[in-house]
Copies of this chain bind each other. A is one copy, B any other.
Amino acid sequence: MLIRTPADLGAVIRDRRKRLKLDQSTLAKRIGVSRQWVIEIEHGHPRAELALVLRALDALGIPLNANPELKTSRGPAPTAVDINAIVAKAKKSKT
């Protein structure tokens, strides 16, 4: 599942929790947060604390993967050269 928004994350958490047959209280204890927190996360609370979110995913056995750009297929580096920088320098040095 691709996580794009807090709501996505809430859905993932809730689904997994139900799949594991846990109620919110139990999960909350396991994560080390209040039941309130679980409720809000599952509803897509946008300002939840990063660390708590990570702990929740861990408690549910959900690994989080950040792809630092999967090889964009063949062809050489798309635009690893920074044209902007080059231009900027060209402008600086008169001739």
Contact indicator per residue, chain A 1-22, by CB within 8 Å of chain B (1) or not (0): 1111110010010011001010
Q: Chain copies in the assembly?
A: 2
- Is A87 part of the contact surface with B, judged by Cβ < 8 Å? no
Contact between chains at A1 and B68 (CB < 8 Å) = yes
A→B interface (CB under 8 Å): 1-6, 9, 12, 15-16, 19, 21, 45-51, 53-54, 57-58, 61-70, 82, 84-85
Contact between chains at B65 and A65 (CB < 8 Å) = yes
Contact between chains at A63 and B54 (CB < 8 Å) = no
* Contact residue among B21, B48, B62, B82 (Cβ-Cβ distance under 8 Å from A67): B62
* Contact residue among B3, B61, B69 (Cβ-Cβ distance under 8 Å from A54): B3
